[in-house]
Structure 1
């Protein structure tokens, strides 16, 4: 098994999903959030999930979902992971984990040292994903193409499996891995030609850049 886990998020077409699978992505993410340019409805997510089954771990990304949406996403997508990318409290994360019976990945927006306290608070999550904290005016909780200061993580004892996200690209992911010491990365906008349009070439370049750093 590769020593660095790679997640390609925001996949929305069979072709780009196949590009991610062929490149060797470990996890593939489907965004169900209508404000996102990467949004897929649950029927399309179901088809993409079936395409990826047995080839990569499948992640459904939800933002502050109610119980009905959690149940609908589980039934349609049968995901290996639920990714929560909103303002879910630690209690809500634990509740969704218990209700779904699936491991939960919790995204935490980072802009300053103060934001790092949320990592400990979310101990109920099976995996922490560190993303750049969006500016107050942003319409999206993630996928904005911005990186946070990786130096904030210096000297921190982060939970095993912590995943780095936010502004990663084929050009900077090797530096990000070296500077943070993390062994899991997540990319979305960094492998796009425009918001929501993934590039097979950039996906392959991203995975290659990570693998040469192992």
Structure 2
């Protein structure tokens, strides 16, 4: 099975084209002002139009209000909304119903107990992203921190769960992560950057190649 690949935090036409040309299945645009990957609505609109019809476009938001989401949906026309905050299952269901877009809920994982939250969200979210739990430091971002979690926690996870693996992935470790977890989808942001918020086209291509290679050697 070939894993789906998401390149998140894209902010320039050049790096977006690198992801598209390499065959990314999803491209993500961040709408969170504290992030170095945050893009304006005007830029996000232009990038989304450039990607339309070539891949799935994802808008990443953190605890958004409905008015903010309305602006994002109008500008980006996302194929998927990625909720990366503290949204409850009820809020996830409400967003999905109000805006008529598939939703991916991100859950921070640090220990086995964190996986228990999956059951509360899998009935209301179209997909679950399992990301490394952010550090407990002032100003820590909800994601994009370049941290991994113990992938062995996912061994034995119900294969029916549509999850995307994230957190500290890069071209050097993504194949190992896929082989160990059997992840059918992977996400990367900081792992393909030269510096925070600045994507590297070569690393994007290398990441996608490594993930595809992992699938070619028998990942199920």
TM-score category, normalised to shorter length: over 0.9
Residues 61-80 of structure 1 correspond to what in structure 2 (within 5 A)? 61-80=60-79
Query: What value does the CA root-mean-square deviation take over the aligned residues?
Result: 1.0
Q: Do the aligned residues in 2 keep the contact of 1:35 with 1:139 (CA within 8 Å)?
A: no
Residues 134-213 of structure 1 correspond to what in structure 2 (within 5 A)? 134-137=134-137, 138-213=139-214
Q: Which residue is 2:218 aligned to?
A: none
Q: Deviations over 1:2-60 (max 9, x none)?
A: 72100000000010000000010000000000000000011111100000000100000
Runs of 5+ consecutive residues of structure 1 not aligned to the other structure: none
Residues 13-24 of structure 1 correspond to what in structure 2 (within 5 A)? 13-24=12-23
Residue 160 of structure 1 deviates from its aligned partner by 3.7
Counterparts of 2:75 and 2:5, CA distance in 1: 24
Residue 159 of structure 1 deviates from its aligned partner by 4.0
Flag the 1:159–1:33 CA change in 2: closer, same or farther, 3 A: farther
Q: Which residue is 2:6 aligned to?
A: 7
Residue 158 of structure 1 deviates from its aligned partner by 4.6
Counterparts of 1:161 and 1:153, CA distance in 2: 13
TM-score, length-normalised on structure 2?
0.95
Residues 103-114 of structure 1 correspond to what in structure 2 (within 5 A)? 103-114=102-113
Counterparts of 2:128 and 2:79, CA distance in 1: 15
Q: Do the aligned residues in 2 keep the contact of 1:132 with 1:142 (CA within 8 Å)?
A: yes
Consecutive aligned runs of 4 or more in structure 1 exceeding 6 Å deviation: none
